[in-house]
Amino acid sequence: MSGPRRSGRREEIVACAARLFSSRGVGATTVRDIADEVGLHSGSLYHYFSSKDELVAEILAAFLDDLTCSYAAEIRRFVAAPEQLRDLIHVSLRVAVRHPHASEIYDKEFASLPSVPGYEHIAARVREAQDVWARILAKGVAERQFRPDFASVQLQRLLREIVWTATRWHRDSLDDDYLMLSTTLVGLFVDGITARSAGSPAPPVVAPPAPLRREAAGRDLAQLRSEVHALRGVVDELRRASA
């Protein structure tokens, strides 16, 4: 089998497995299920992957490698913390478009991940990504650009979880919705935690960088407004807990 053809088939298997794993779970998805979806005999699938665990590792490693490399390349280094946090949210959603099922698989299979091949690499990438969130928030608090009344550890966990949960809410339409979603999350969280003097106006909505822009007209905003309302409740809860 030629290299490009084998590579294309491997990518097809990975994409199919990711979709099935996120909807059914790894345990409930059989090798036959995956093979049937891509038009292979079950035995033929083992020419590409030795096990379902190897497929899980491939899906998560590809996602986390893309995420951490994109953070390093696309988050501006010499700008204020609020601008870096805007970049962080925009980049996270952009990567989610390329890996729409990965964060859900990570959450669902978290307890069993230590058994998958290459877990050390996956765990290291997760820590690296989390450190980016923590570093930006700590920078903002230290430089008095973010409000000090939020516990930064709780806040960075909350922001991370909401960003990745929001991608799952919009998984089926994320390719179309991520500009709207990204702008809304930035407005809600970055502007919401940015320190400013009493009575000063809220900062203007900042559009994502040019590579992230897409036509957003004609989309239904009712669901997103409902979700934002729920997220505001979570933020209020965190504020009370940190008081």
Name the one residue in this structure whose structure tokens are 């000063």: 200
Contact 116, 56 (CB under 8 A): yes
Under 8 Å between Cβ of 46 and 55: no
pLDDT along the chain (243 residues), means of 10: 67 95 94 93 90 95 97 95 91 91 91 94 96 91 80 75 80 77 79 61 49 42 53 56 53
SS (H, E, C) 140-192: HHHCCCECCCCCHHHHHHHHHHHHHHHHHHCHHHHHHHHHHHHHHHHHHHHHH
Task: Pick the closest to residue 31 from 42, 15, 21, 39 (CA basis).
Answer: 42
CB-CB contact of 21 with 51 (8 Å): no
d(CA 210, CA 48): 38
In this prediction the pTM is 0.76
- Asked if 144 and 195 count as a contact pair (C-beta separation under 8 A), the reply is yes
pLDDT of residue 218: 40
Contact, 146 vs 193, CB < 8 A? yes
Distance CA 55, CA 109 (A): 13
Contact (CB, 8 A) for 71 and 132: yes
Asked whether the beta carbons of 47 and 35 are under 8 A apart, the reply is no
Distances (CA, A) of 150 to 156, 233, 240: 10, 15, 9
Task: Output the pLDDT for position 153.
Answer: 74
- DSSP code of 202? P
Sign for the pseudo-dihedral over CA of 139, 141, 143, 145: positive
Helices (H), the chain: 3-24, 31-38, 42-45, 52-74, 81-98, 102-108, 119-142, 152-169, 174-185, 191-193, 222-242
Distance CA 21, CA 26 (A): 5
pLDDT the model gives residue 75: 96
From CA 61, how far away is CA 119, in angstroms rounded? 9
Give the pLDDT of residue 213: 42
The pLDDT, as a whole number, for residue 212 is: 43
Structural domains of the chain in order of their starting residue, each with its CATH number: 1-49 (1.10.10.60), 70-242 (1.10.357)
Q: In the prediction, which pLDDT does 241 show?
A: 53
